[in-house]
Structure formats: C-alpha cells, structure tokens
A and B are shown apart, each in its own frame.
Chain A
C-alpha cells in the first residue's frame, strides 16, 4: 500500500513569490491534514479536510495561504506571496475518520520550503 505522497520534496523561492504544495493521501482516507513544522517544533495544524470540506481552517493565515481538495482526494496548499517566516516543513497527513475510530494519522515525507 502506498503511503501519503507529497511533492515537491524541497522548494527554494524568493520572498513575495508564490508556491504550491501537492498531497495525495492514502487511498480511502477521507480526512486530510496540512501541518507546518518549524525547526525543533511539533507539527501545527493549518487545515483539516473531511472529504472535500474544510472543517477546521482556524490556524490557516488566510491572507496569504489557501488550500483546496477537489473531489475529496488530492489536495494543494498555496502560499502567495511567501514571506521569510514561511520557511518550514509542510507536512500532509491522512486518516480514516469515523465516530468510533481513533485519529491515527499517516504522514507524508513533507515539503521543505526555504524562502530567501
């Protein structure tokens, strides 16, 4: 079984430029998460999708960040324009949620973003 796939693995851009990250979750997983992980810190949730619906985007900086999950499968996370402080690893995770299931999340390898 393939795990969570993310691309690109690394991205270096100059500030004020746009950038996009792509995630393909594990097949059948209806819940998808985007996290930001700063160096030496734990993952911080940016947005959570249940199928195609964003059910928690309270931590997403909406002035510059946007996300979509068309058809409830793949997802993209976009930053426009990027700032120096956006440098981090962006992790995608997926899980198979339900009222009686635990929240075991499977993480992708992440995209390491460097903003110069």
Chain B
C-alpha cells in the first residue's frame, strides 16, 4: 500500500547549523507534499508545502526540494534556532480529495 518513509527519526544540531530531513514516498501519483511542525502537546501546523510541478520552494529559513523521479523530498532548515525544536512530519497526497499519508516524524533538537 501507500507509504511514506522519513529519516532520521531524531536529529540534534547546534544552533545556527542547518538541519535536513528526508522522505520518500511510494505512490508515484502523489502530487502534493506538505510538511508539518508539531511542538510538544500541540497540534501539527503546516510550515511549507510543495506541488509536483515545482522542484524547490523556499520560505525564509525553510526550503523543500522534490525529486519526482526518485520519489524523494526533503526539508531544509538553515540557521536553526532553539524554537525550531519540535517534531516534523512529512506527508504525501494527491490533490482532488485523496488520503494524506504521513511519515513517522523527526524529532529535531536545536542546542543553544
């Protein structure tokens, strides 16, 4: 069945360094890839998304890249700050009303 794999499960970086989280998906028809940030005890919130007609998207310190051929997409956070510490989930879905499959999450620790 459809599957999204996410790595690493835990990531610890020093403040100011970059963090990269990688995901692969199995359904080649997937065309929408959101990333959610979930702080402890809070709801997941969308931080950035990308559609399959785009290879890269950037929003300030956050960027996402997509390789459709490899069915692989990544989240890049530059100049990390302690408030970036959270669990990040990638997801894959198809537009038009289809199920969203979430990765298992990456717990990011940014050390001050």
**What sequence of 0s and 1s flags, for each residue 81-116 of chain A, a beta carbon within 8 Å of any chain B beta carbon?**
000000000010000011111111111111000000
Q: Is the interface of A mostly helix, strand, loop or mixed?
A: loop
Interface residue B89 (Cβ < 8 Å from any Cβ of A): yes
Interface residue A28 (Cβ < 8 Å from any Cβ of B): no
Q: Contacts A42-B103, A103-B32; is A50 near B45 (CB within 8 Å)?
A: no
- Residues of B in contact with A, size category: 20 to 34
**Smallest beta-carbon distance B21→chain A, Å:** 13
* Inter-subunit contact B96/A99 (CB<8 Å): yes
Interface residue B58 (Cβ < 8 Å from any Cβ of A): no
Interface residue B62 (Cβ < 8 Å from any Cβ of A): no
Q: Contacts A43-B102, A107-B44; is A97 near B49 (CB within 8 Å)?
A: no
**What sequence of 0s and 1s flags, for each residue 66-102 of chain B, a beta carbon within 8 Å of any chain A beta carbon?**
0000000000000000000000010101111111101
Q: Which residues of A contact B49 (CB under 8 A)?
A: 102, 104
Q: Name 27 interchain pairs, CB-CB below 8 A, sorted by A.
A: A31-B97, A33-B100, A40-B105, A42-B6, A42-B89, A42-B91, A42-B103, A42-B104, A44-B102, A48-B99, A55-B97, A91-B43, A91-B44, A97-B97, A98-B96, A99-B96, A101-B95, A102-B32, A102-B51, A102-B95, A103-B32, A103-B97, A103-B98, A104-B46, A104-B49, A105-B34, A107-B43
